[in-house]
Amino acid sequence: SYHVLMFGPVLSRAVLATAFVAMTSIVCAGVWSFGFGAALDQLEKRGRADLALAASRLTGELQRFRSLAVLTADRPEVSALLNLQAGDNVAGLLREMADKTGSLDILVVDAMGREILSSSETIGTDHAGRPYFERAMDGALGVYHFVDPRYKRRVFYFAAPVFAADGPVPGVVVVAVHV
């Protein structure tokens, strides 16, 4: 009975200390979990805002090149080139436009899909059957993106039809953009 009296208070203190440590651990885990969740919520909101801003900038940037394709297709020099008339200094014009706008390349493509002229002076890609080209040949703006082996990077293509005064679309202006 002497041993029971001697170890009784020590045992009850050990149980109390263990209970205190357990309760403190549970409270700390709850506070940490709540703080971590609140921090993740803030991080998620900031991430969504950053993503929306980046998407808006990308859309604005791509809109600029879309407009470039349409405006270039309306140039009389491009129509003259596609109608096999002398397109005076169209290569220089395309090169200047590509340099000023930051385009990767600006191409003039005939109705068969063959490149007639390129601002980068590299001609050879056949565009027939590609979605952006076919859509432009139907009279609408064609847009497409893929990793192009020609440029060895992801490229957005904007293809605008060149309208003839009296007949079908004679060709397409393609603006290649690396974003």
CA–CA distances in Å: residue 94 to residues 4, 37, 110: 100, 54, 16
Measured in residues, the chain has a length of: 179
pTM tops 0.75: no
- Whether 79 contacts 162, CB under 8 Å: yes
- Give 52's pLDDT tier (boundaries 50, 70, 90): confident
> DSSP strand E in the chain: where?
105-110, 115-118, 142-148, 153-162, 171-177
CA–CA distances in Å: residue 49 to residues 40, 58, 59, 72, 98: 14, 14, 15, 35, 32
Residue carrying the six token digits 């090169």:
95
- Higher pLDDT residue, 18 or 11? 18
For the segment 138-154, what is each residue's pLDDT rounded down to a tens digit? 999 999 988 888 888 89
For the segment 85-137, what is each residue's pLDDT rounded down to a tens digit? 665 578 888 888 888 888 999 999 999 999 888 888 777 788 899 999 999 99
